[in-house]
Amino acid sequence: MKAVILAGGLGTRLAEETHLRPKPMVEIGGKPILWHIMNTYAHYGVTEFVIALGYMSEYVKEYFLNFYAKNNDITVDLSSGKTEVHHGKQPNWVVHLVDTGLHTQTGGRVKRIQKWLGNDQTFMLTYGDGVADVNIKTLLEFHQSHGKHATMTAVRPPSRFGEVLLEGAQIKSFIEKPQTGEGWINGGYFVLEREILEYIVGDDTYWERDPLERLANEQQLMAFQHAGFWQPMDTLREKRILEELWQSSQAPWKVWA
């Protein structure tokens, strides 16, 4: 089974970083957030990826073309120009890097990668700019149990502020930036059947609008409720939150060894 990752957006709300590189390549702990997302899938046995590229696609391609050298020790003999890459622990991944257009919308990018799905009837889909501790195995089992075209992981959005529980004027407890207790939103981490491609008209289709709305109206969209950690990286503030968690060795999304 393949995991499709949408990695082609302009990332304008994180312009401090994305004027230099695409948002999925913004680093947390010295590694692109895309690497973190892929490690989550790989931990549960999903090791083949289709990366839907757009903005600064060459940056992502260069990273993976040089992945082996970037992540191992290298010896360079300057007299002969001979280079030796010393073998280390490397992920057993297959990565398809597909240019899906600079201005193509999210649904259009999914439509454009359909030939890369091969014979797979079921595939996974997520965004390249957020992390979570979603159990991919449990998510897939849930999808297979209901027989619908699509499963969306529903999450509770993180609060911008700490939560204070009061008893009169006495503060009984304080939780720093908890998940909010109200409402569920689209958290990505979809499991989809190929039938969903019929719901996408073309490049201008936003996956989050007409396709998902139609699937819901036709009772073909189910929610996998994830009450655990989920954090997008839309702003510099959110990047700093993720970096602090990683540096403190308390990153909830790090499910891999």
| Structure token pair of residue 240 | 């700093």
Query: What one-character-per-residue DSSP string does 145-161 give?
Result: HH--SEEEEEEPPBPSS
Residue 176 reports pLDDT greater than 70: no
Handedness of CA 218, 138, 50, 30 (dihedral sign): positive
Amino acid sitting at position 220: Q
Residue 174 reports pLDDT greater than 80: no
Residue 255 reports pLDDT greater than 70: yes
| Structure token pair of residue 251 | 């990153």
**Predicted pLDDT at 214:** 92
Residue 156 reports pLDDT greater than 80: yes
Query: What one-character-per-residue DSSP string does 179-227 give?
Result: BPSS--EE---EEEEGGGGGG--STT--TTTHHHHHHHHTT-EEEEEE-
Considering the chain, what percentage of its residues have pLDDT values greater than 90?
75
Of 121, 15, 18, 2, the C-alpha closest to 52 is: 2
**Predicted pLDDT at 149:** 96
Beta-carbon contacts of residue 34 (< 8 Å; ≥ 6 apart): 5, 7, 24, 25, 51, 60, 128
Count of beta carbons in the 10 Å neighbourhood of residue 115: 8
Q: In the structure, what pLDDT confidence band is assigned to residue 190 with cuts at 50, 70 and 90?
A: very high
- pLDDT tens column, 98-146: 999 999 999 999 999 999 999 999 999 999 999 999 999 999 999 999 9
Residue 4 reports pLDDT greater than 80: yes
Name the least confident of 14-18, 45-49, 51-55, 203-207.
Answer: 14-18
- The mean predicted confidence, pLDDT, of the chain is 90
Count of beta carbons in the 10 Å neighbourhood of residue 90: 10
Residue bearing the bigger pLDDT, 80 or 85: 80
Report CA Rg, the chain: 20
**Predicted pLDDT at 162:** 57
| Residue found under tokens 């690497």 | 35
**Predicted pLDDT at 88:** 76
- pLDDT tens column, 209-241: 999 999 999 999 999 999 999 999 999 999 999
**Predicted pLDDT at 71:** 85
Q: Which domains does the chain have, with CATH numbers?
A: 2-247 (3.90.550.10)
What pairing do the DSSP bridges indicate for beta strands 48-53 and 94-99? parallel
